[in-house]
Amino acid sequence: MALDLRRLRYFVAVAEERNFRRAAAQLHVAQPSLSQQIVRLERELGVVLFDRSVQPVALTRAAAELLPRARRLLSDVEVAAEATRRAGGAADGQLTVGFVGSAGRAELPGVIQALRQAHPGMEIRLRDLPLGSAAEAVQTGEVDVSMSRGVERGDGVVSTELEPDSLVVAVPVGHRLEGRNEVALGSLTEETFVRPASSGDLRPWSDFITDLCGQSGFEPRWSLEEGSSHQAIVGLVASGVGIALLSCTSHALPREGVAALPLSGASMPLVVVHRSGDASPLVAAFLQALKPTSPSRSDGHGGVPSAGSRDATSHRQRNDTRAVAPGQADGSRVA
């Protein structure tokens, strides 16, 4: 006996909703048509599937036996269809894109619009990821690709560097540097930097600044006060506690009482992380839409250099994080 898959879908919808009207609305079909298809399915099987004399409708013993099998069959059909589309190179199906903090904030809207126009069958889902988890999320299959800043290491993943983000120096209004068109990192040797919280999600940002300053030959002088988020750090800048380095795309700016000055000679790379050797046409379409500005880089673990450095091996190995550049674990922590 060959069962009609459409009728099986209708049966599952009615069985789950326990109501023909709601099931019809879910399926976007007329209720009389739905009822007719269920009756035909019952005739094909030679059983009654629903007790229509009660509300909500009740499943008969035969329907209770059929429901899990019908769900499994429909799922298998969808999996088979998706595998076939992928094998045939069609960029149709669901693509899950993860992002850390403000990574991709400027790029993603345009990329998503272009993908939807070029591939109407592609469904794109976005997922906000905790700091340092971009590579792990790709490894585990939580996301297909992820966007982050700085080094992301992980077995079996590749990080592709895109156009880097510029950095800015946040100074309080009235500061000696206010009004400059740009500021060199070497001119900040005598400045006090607002200290990011030493524990939690801002630790990588502190390490990032320390490495960046080290490349210019000095150690940053940290304030006694700590900022628990980038917004809090900028608030301390406004209060005159010190200065801060931030991404030009930071959600913490602009802020009253704070001037943001372009930092010359330093930047923060935006990277997209994906599985090594991933042949998915969905991932390929996403990478093509991003149009990376430099080739994939790997140090054997899928890492890329951090901002201001072309040597990924120069970074200290840290046990508490997988990322050197900052991200966010919630809405208050943004690079």
With respect to residue 319, please indicate whether it lies within any of the assigned structural domains. Answer: no
Q: What is the pLDDT of residues 129-141, one digit of tens each?
A: 876 678 888 888 8
Identify the domain containing residue 47 by its residue range. Answer: 5-87
pTM: 0.51
What is the domain-level CATH number for residue 257?
3.40.190.10
pLDDT of 122 > 80? The answer is yes
The pLDDT value recorded for residue 265 is 84
With respect to residue 326, please indicate whether it lies within any of the assigned structural domains. Answer: no
What is the rounded average pLDDT for all residues in the chain?
79
With respect to residue 71, please indicate whether it lies within any of the assigned structural domains. Answer: yes
Q: What is the pLDDT of residues 265-305, one digit of tens each?
A: 888 778 888 888 877 888 888 888 887 433 344 433 333 33
Q: Is the dihedral of CA 30, 34, 36, 37 positive or negative?
A: positive
The pLDDT value recorded for residue 76 is 84
Task: Give the residue, 166 or 195, on which the prediction is more confident.
Answer: 195
Compute how many other C-beta atoms are within 10 angstroms of the C-beta atom of residue 9: 15
In angstroms, rounded to a whole number, what is the distance separating the alpha carbons of residues 247 and 229?
Answer: 14
With respect to residue 98, please indicate whether it lies within any of the assigned structural domains. Answer: yes
Mean pLDDT is lowest, of 112-121, 124-133, 223-232, for: 124-133
With respect to residue 334, please indicate whether it lies within any of the assigned structural domains. Answer: no
Q: What is the tally of structural domains in the chain?
A: 3
What is the domain-level CATH number for residue 60?
1.10.10.10
Q: Are residues 208 and 262 in the same domain?
A: yes
Q: Are residues 145 and 289 in the same domain?
A: yes
Q: Are residues 101 and 247 in the same domain?
A: no
Q: How far is CA 286 from CA 102, 126, 139, 150, 279, in A?
A: 18, 13, 18, 20, 12
Q: Are residues 231 and 179 in the same domain?
A: yes
With respect to residue 231, please indicate whether it lies within any of the assigned structural domains. Answer: yes
Percent of the chain past pLDDT 90, that is, above it, reads: 36
Q: Are residues 151 and 288 in the same domain?
A: yes
With respect to residue 81, please indicate whether it lies within any of the assigned structural domains. Answer: yes
Q: Are residues 62 and 11 in the same domain?
A: yes
Task: Write down the residue that tokens 């050797």 correspond to.
Answer: 277
Q: What is the pLDDT of residues 46-73, one digit of tens each?
A: 999 999 999 899 999 999 999 999 998 9
The pLDDT value recorded for residue 88 is 57
